[in-house]
Each structure stands twice: as C-alpha cells, then as structure tokens.
C-alpha cells in the first residue's frame, strides 16, 4: 500500500504540470530580436508580435524593459514568445511558440505562410497568418495552479552545502564564499538562477565566450564566469571588485 501511495505522490507534480495551458498565464514576454533575424525588431516583427498577443488578451512586455514586480520576482509567471522561421524557396514560413520558463512549449501555432516578394510585407503577413490559430484558441486567464519554477526544485533531502574551498587570495578582489545551490533555468537570452524558495537570484545573459555570462541581480551588474572548475559572480561595489563563489546546477 505504501508503495502505491509513494508512486501517486510522485505522479501528482507531473500531472499538474501537464495541465498547464495558455489560460494559466496572464503575462507574455517578447524578445527584442528573434534568432533568425539580424537586427532588433527587424521588419517590426517583435512589435507586431506584442500587439497581436495584446489583442488576444495577454499583458505583454518586451523582455528588455522594466517589468512589474510580479514578473520580475518570478519569471515563471510569464510565457516567453518566440517566432521560428522555416526556410522556403518561394514562401515565407513562420511559426509562433509560447514557452514556459523551463522552455517547455505551452502553445505552438500553425505554420503561417506568405508568397509576397517584399520582405517586410511577407514576414508580417506570414506572422498574422500564424496568429490565426492562436486567435481561434479560447483564452481566459484563470491563474496558475502551480508555477513551473517549482518543478525543478528537488523534493528530496535538504541540500547540504559541501565544504567550501579556501578562497584564492587576491589583492584586487574581495571573495565571498558560496551560499546554497542555485538551479539554472533556460530563458530566451540565457539562464535565470533560482534558489529553493524559489526566488530568482541572478539573471545570466549569453555571450560569445563559453562559460562566460553577463549577469545582474537587480542591484549589481557584472559577469558570471568559470575559473578552475568553480563559478564566480564578479562585480564592482563602492569602487572595489567583489567576487562571489556560486554553486550552480545546470
């Protein structure tokens, strides 16, 4: 009997997650540039995406703007919009995806098409065509039954912080020792690091260098990089370089 109860408890989080639909979300974040484009808001696709989502009833923000506290403190309360292009010789083919904070696709549109030769017209028409399937999908915000962010927090024994290695002494940086483990959740632009609350502790933005991220925690801007197998958040405070050791689980 205990065995069956244990299996039932394990199944509950996953069954709850499977029920998430667009109705569980009030907010959508739109990037300033989609991956297949070369410039921010090229052909006004990002702006058009925001407008069409607002017409559907969502509250929409560009992900590079100041966000309300409800979203800034928990990115898992918002969906992330993405537009994908499929190469075609004579047609423009676009698909819209709405993803949760873990990158899971909550909604994917049909493939919108346009045969117009002028790029801006063709991309705009293809995007509007793709949005027709979202327009036909019923949407009423009902609130989130369970934030996806909670799914990644291990429901096991308490996290035990391993013995902290002695910090390397340096004359130019004050090194703060690591606190608890942070869990990396993929975002459109990189990762967000959450603790077991769950609370967003750091936001990481991808760079062109491996194991090197642009980072900010709401009060300080700096970098997160890997040195000698360990992760560090480095930033300036009152004119002094501070180096904080991090325990990150990707």
C-beta separation of 83 from 45 below 8 A: yes
The pTM for the full model equals 0.52
Q: What is the pLDDT of residue 83?
A: 96
Bridge partners, 247 (sequence order): 181
C-beta separation of 243 from 174 below 8 A: yes
DSSP 178-210: P-SEEEEEE-SSEEEEE-SS--EEEEEEE-SST
Rounded CA Rg of the chain: 21
Closest Cα partner for 51 from 59, 40, 39? 59
Q: What is the pLDDT of residue 9?
A: 41
Angle at 59 between CA 56 and CA 65, to 5 degrees: 135
Domains and CATH numbers, the chain: 12-135 (3.40.50), 153-249 (no CATH)
**Alpha-carbon dihedral sign for residues 100, 57, 32, 114:** positive
Burial class (CB within 10 angstroms; exposed 0-12, middle 13-18, buried 19+) of 94: buried
C-beta separation of 232 from 245 below 8 A: yes
pLDDT tens sequence for the chain (250 residues):
444 444 444 444 433 344 579 999 999 999 999 999 999 999 999 999 999 999 999 999 998 888 989 899 998 999 999 999 988 878 999 999 999 999 999 999 999 999 998 988 999 999 999 999 999 999 999 876 444 444 444 555 566 666 655 544 444 455 555 668 899 888 888 899 888 888 888 999 998 888 899 999 888 899 999 999 899 999 998 889 999 999 999 8
What are the helix (H) ranges across the chain?
Answer: 2-18, 45-56, 69-72, 119-135
């Amino acid at each position: 009997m205990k065995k069956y109860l244990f299996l039932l408890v394990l199944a509950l989080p996953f069954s709850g997650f499977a029920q998430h639909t667009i109705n569980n979300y009030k907010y959508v974040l739109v990037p300033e540039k989609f991956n297949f484009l070369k410039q921010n808001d090229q052909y006004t696709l990002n702006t058009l995406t925001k407008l069409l989502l607002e017409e559907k009833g969502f509250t929409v923000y560009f992900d590079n703007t100041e966000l309300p506290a409800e979203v800034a403190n928990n990115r898992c309360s918002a969906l992330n919009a993405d537009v994908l292009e499929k190469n075609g010789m004579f047609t423009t083919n676009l698909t819209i995806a709405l993803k949760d904070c873990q990158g899971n696709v909550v909604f994917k549109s049909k493939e919108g098409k346009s045969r117009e030769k002028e790029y801006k017209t063709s991309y705009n028409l293809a995007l509007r065509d793709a949005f027709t399937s979202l327009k036909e999908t019923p949407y009423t915000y009902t609130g989130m039954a369970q934030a996806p962010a909670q799914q990644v927090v291990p429901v096991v024994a308490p996290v035990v912080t391993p013995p902290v290695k002695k910090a390397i002494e340096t004359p130019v940086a004050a090194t703060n020792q690591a606190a608890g483990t942070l869990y990396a959740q993929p975002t459109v632009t990189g990762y967000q690091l959450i603790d077991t609350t769950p609370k967003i502790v750091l936001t990481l933005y991808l760079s062109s260098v491996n194991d090197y991220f642009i980072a900010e925690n709401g009060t300080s801007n700096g970098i997160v990089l890997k040195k000698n197998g360990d992760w560090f958040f480095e930033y300036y405070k009152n004119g002094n370089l501070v180096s904080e050791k991090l325990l990150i689980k990707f």
